Amino acid sequence: MTKRYGGPGVRLAGDGLVLREWERGDVAAMVELFDNPEVAYWTPLVSPFDLAAAEAYLDAAHSDNGRIHLAITTDGGEPMGEVMLNGKTAALGYAVGPAFRGRGLAHRAVILLTAYTHEVLGLDRVILEIEPENAASSAVARRAGYQLTDLPLISVTDKGRELKLTTWQHLA
């Protein structure tokens, strides 16, 4: 893993991926990646995810909100998804665009950002919060070395839907 601090950004590379900050030129690609029924169902991203939503999301990603939002790429170019860290809760999240699924992008991105949180940010514990019915996301967690905890389910409401989330953890 390499890290680069170019201004405020984080750039991580390893295992065939380059994770980089979102750029203004990515807005159309963000719509292609995130304006999808599955993404809308499993993530807190707004739906529809149009150009206005992408611009607002990009602005929030570049604000000092305690989060790191990184585009998943193979070479620093075309975004294929996102991995993010909420520094306040040490929770990671991720989404891969439908056209790019099945390539192992999510678990490799989670591994890179998890290593960064442990090695650079010094966090001892990183978590993922996943609906038990989300088999694909649970598989990503398992493949990235996360362990399902025995903590009680977390109840949240998102877009009018009641969610029960399991907690997966990765310890340094």
pTM of the complete model = 0.90
Q: What is the pLDDT of residue 166?
A: 96
- Per-domain residue ranges for the chain? 2-171
Superfamily of the domain at 2-171 = Gcn5-related N-acetyltransferase (GNAT) (3.40.630.30)
pLDDT tens series, the chain, 172 aa:
443 323 357 999 999 999 999 999 999 999 999 999 989 889 889 999 999 999 999 998 888 778 899 999 999 999 999 999 998 899 999 999 999 999 999 999 999 999 999 999 999 999 999 999 999 999 999 999 999 999 999 999 988 889 999 999 999 9
Instruction: Please report the beta strands in the chain, taking only residues with DSSP state E, as ranges in sequence order.
Output: 2-4, 11-14, 17-21, 67-73, 81-86, 91-96, 125-130, 147-148, 154-158, 161-171
